[in-house]
């Protein structure tokens, strides 16, 4: 491989792909490991037929999933300082259905995710409720 070709490949991987990712809007392929200080917290509740609420620890949901969702759910009943809360928000429906599978005899379940884009920013709450039967 020629030096010119190596330089072109290096520029593509170091600048081109991250820049295209930012222009596309997701920023998923950009280098932003320490560029944010976002945090999130998850609350899960199931209600029985009589309307009695039962809180469910997000860690109980984490035991039923695989991959990245597992590490993002475990311990998230407290504020976690990691910018992956939006990942969970994108999967609110699935999390609410998973809460139905986790509770004993739920009639309905709800998941709330609180996000802070900065450490001192306002809290944005995203919620989803589903009927379990």
Could you report the per-residue pLDDT of 35-60, keeping only the tens digit for each? Answer: 556 889 999 999 999 999 999 999 99
The whole-angstrom separation of Cα 129 and Cα 133 is: 13
Nearest 10 degrees: Cα torsion 96, 88, 69, 129? 0
As a 3-state breakdown, the chain gives helix, strand, coil percent values, each rounded to 5, of 35, 25, 40
Instruction: Provide the pLDDT for residue 25.
Output: 59
Domain boundaries, the chain: 1-33, 39-131
97 pLDDT higher than 60: yes
pLDDT at 34: 53
* Whole-prediction pTM: 0.71
């Amino acid at each position: 491989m020629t030096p010119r070709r190596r330089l072109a490949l290096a520029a593509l991987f170091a600048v081109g792909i991250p820049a295209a990712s930012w222009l596309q809007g997701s920023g998923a392929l950009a280098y932003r490991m320490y560029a944010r200080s976002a945090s999130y917290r998850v609350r899960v509740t199931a209600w029985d037929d009589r309307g009695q609420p039962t809180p469910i620890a997000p860690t109980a949901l984490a035991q039923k999933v695989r991959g990245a969702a597992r590490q993002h759910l475990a311990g998230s009943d407290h504020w976690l300082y990691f910018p992956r809360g939006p990942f969970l928000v994108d999967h609110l429906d699935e999390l609410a259905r998973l809460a139905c599978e986790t509770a004993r005899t739920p009639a309905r379940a709800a998941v709330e995710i609180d996000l802070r884009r900065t450490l001192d920013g306002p809290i944005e709450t995203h919620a989803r409720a589903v009927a379990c039967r």
